[in-house]
């Protein structure tokens, strides 16, 4: 039974990591507040690492952590983790994107209510002994239009709650379909149209080059003067300089900010503006949320290390338990295709073409592509290659790849094909998963075959002639090599043919040399699968 070491570097709910703490296979060390130098001194033997936002996981840390398999961020953002370095060294980075959904949704509503009823200012004045009812006349949310930019889980959660307040919802999201919008009673709009029509706006997108400053000068110039805007997502989505200018010029009425372009924020004009409500990045700061994210990453670490099941990886394809069961035979056959293909070639390819046909083509096939590439690279790059760093390492080798998908197949409900090309040779290998029979390699270089992948395989290109198979069997028998099954693929009588054999034992070099001396045999290739 494997034993794993987990290093917790930031304050985490111990109730949330109870599953790890109680697990007999895991040793958990909680060491918070360490400098990078202190982390480098201890990190080399740990298999998993848990952080929040305080610790920065640098490339040097990842490189020193020679046993590291997983970095878990107990939260959504992974800005403090060097994702490229983790990918380069084959380390899975996971987060907990769903753990703070309710907390962020509720905080958004709290900020909207605080802003529209001027609660912070009224509280401050009354706590200082001033009773001033006339100074604070809020506005109702009922009947108003809320514009939502970014309609993911949190955006949808805000929409549902706002609808219960009697608000009309308009929204922008590039992936929001008309059907889904209609079903949720949301009107789709472009960002510039939201600026024109909304009484309230809330943003719920990640911070990307496309979303940075999406709410800026042009947005505010088009907005209603009574607009109130809320950001509980990421600092930088709203241009803070443009926001201050819009408030000072009376272009909009107010803003509520939980996140900032720089954190902690130093812009005192922003923090002290009378029309702005601020909180110190509290969107995920509830007892329940912190426990949920800790539970989520704890279970993810266990699932990855024990079951190789990946759900919330930032740098790898999603592999839930259901998807894993559904795709498992295809993952296996794509892995075997990679192993077989590279061993049948004399030199590594410069170009790879991957084709997915049938029902399979409708699914996310990225895990199949990664599985093929990882197993194709392992013979030359070693066991450090995995599905996380496979495409990165492929790029480092200057090998290009292309994926093609088609809904139709010829004789199979699902069909996978790979073409490997270099300057001197081209190899085509096709495979499928047959109901009741499992994985099968069904095509090699134009020859129709039917090969169940097993540990020891032998492929022989030859000219078809009477007696040639008997000579082969005699040679293998002489070396005590038993044939489990054999299949002959040929195009024409007496022409080029391919023998494919499943063997119980590996073929030694002496036996292969003798096989190549059989008249008509011109290429003998042994393939050993892991």
Active-site residues, by number, are: 234, 263, 281
Report which DSSP code applies to 258: S
Q: How many CB atoms lie within 10 A of CB 504?
A: 12
Is residue 229 within 8 A of residue 215, CB to CB? The reply is yes
Is residue 149 within 8 A of residue 203, CB to CB? The reply is yes
Is residue 65 within 8 A of residue 43, CB to CB? The reply is yes
Q: Which two tokens stand for residue 502?
A: 């499943």
Is residue 104 within 8 A of residue 283, CB to CB? The reply is yes
What 3-state class would DSSP assign to 98?
coil
**Location of structure tokens 């003067």:** 225
**Location of structure tokens 């059907």:** 179
Angle at 42 between CA 39 and CA 46, to 5 degrees: 105
Is residue 151 within 8 A of residue 128, CB to CB? The reply is no
What 3-state class would DSSP assign to 318?
coil
The Cα 395–Cα 323 span in angstroms is 27
- In sequence order, the 6+-apart residues with CB closer than 8 A to the CB of 19 are 295, 298, 299, 302
**Location of structure tokens 């390699």:** 441
- In sequence order, the 6+-apart residues with CB closer than 8 A to the CB of 175 are none
The dihedral through the CA atoms of 108, 109, 110, 112 has a sign that is positive
């Amino acid at each position: 039974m494997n034993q794993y070491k987990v290093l917790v570097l930031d304050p985490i709910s111990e109730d949330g990591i109870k599953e790890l703490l109680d697990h007999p296979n895991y040793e958990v060390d909680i060491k918070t507040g360490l400098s990078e130098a202190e982390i480098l001194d201890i990190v080399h033997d740990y298999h998993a690492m848990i952080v929040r936002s305080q610790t920065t996981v640098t490339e040097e840390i990842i490189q020193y952590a020679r046993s590291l398999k997983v970095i878990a961020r107990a939260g959504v953002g992974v800005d403090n983790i060097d994702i490229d370095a983790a990918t380069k060294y084959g380390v899975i980075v996971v987060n907990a994107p769903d753990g703070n959904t309710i907390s962020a949704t509720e905080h958004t509503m709290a900020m909207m209510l605080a802003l529209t009823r001027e609660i912070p200012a009224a509280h401050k004045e009354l706590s200082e002994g001033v009773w001033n009812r006339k100074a604070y006349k809020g506005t109702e949310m009922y009947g108003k239009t809320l514009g939502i930019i970014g309609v993911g889980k949190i955006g949808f959660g805000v929409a549902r709650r706002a609808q219960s307040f009697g608000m009309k919802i308009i929204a922008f999201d590039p992936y929001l379909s008309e059907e889904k919008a209609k079903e949720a009673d949301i009107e789709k709009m472009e960002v510039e149209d939201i600026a024109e029509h909304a009484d309230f706006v809330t943003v719920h997108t990640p911070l990307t080059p496309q979303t940075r400053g999406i709410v800026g000068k042009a947005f505010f110039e088009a907005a209603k003067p009574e607009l109130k805007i809320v950001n509980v997502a990421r600092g930088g989505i709203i241009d803070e300089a443009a926001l201050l200018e819009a408030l000072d010029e009376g272009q909009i009425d107010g803003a509520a900010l939980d996140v900032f372009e720089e954190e902690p924020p130093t812009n005192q004009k922003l923090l002290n503006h009378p029309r702005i409500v601020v909180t110190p990045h509290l969107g995920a700061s509830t007892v329940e949320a912190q426990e949920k994210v800790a539970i989520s990453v704890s279970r993810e670490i266990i699932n990855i290390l024990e079951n190789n099941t990946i759900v919330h990886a930032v740098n790898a394809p999603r592999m839930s338990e259901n998807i894993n069961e559904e795709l498992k035979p295809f993952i296996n056959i794509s892995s075997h295709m990679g192993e077989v293909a590279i061993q049948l070639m004399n030199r590594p390819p410069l170009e790879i073409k991957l084709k997915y046909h049938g029902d399979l083509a409708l699914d996310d096939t990225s895990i199949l592509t990664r599985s093929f590439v990882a197993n194709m690279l392992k013979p030359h790059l070693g066991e450090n290659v995995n599905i996380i760093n496979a495409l990165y390492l492929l790029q480092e080798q200057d090998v290009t790849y292309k994926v093609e998908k088609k809904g139709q197949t010829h004789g199979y409900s699902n069909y996978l094909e790979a073409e490997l090309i270099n300057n001197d040779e081209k190899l085509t290998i096709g495979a499928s998963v047959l109901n009741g029979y499992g994985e099968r390699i069904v095509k090699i270089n134009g020859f129709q075959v039917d090969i169940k992948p097993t540990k020891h395989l032998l492929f022989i290109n030859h000219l078809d002639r009477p007696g040639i198979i008997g000579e082969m069997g005699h040679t293998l028998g002489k070396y005590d090599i038993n044939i489990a099954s054999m299949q002959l693929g040929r195009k024409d009588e007496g022409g080029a043919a391919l023998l494919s054999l499943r063997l119980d034992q590996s073929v030694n070099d002496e036996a292969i040399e003798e096989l190549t001396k059989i008249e008509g045999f011109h290429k003998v290739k042994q393939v050993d699968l892991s």
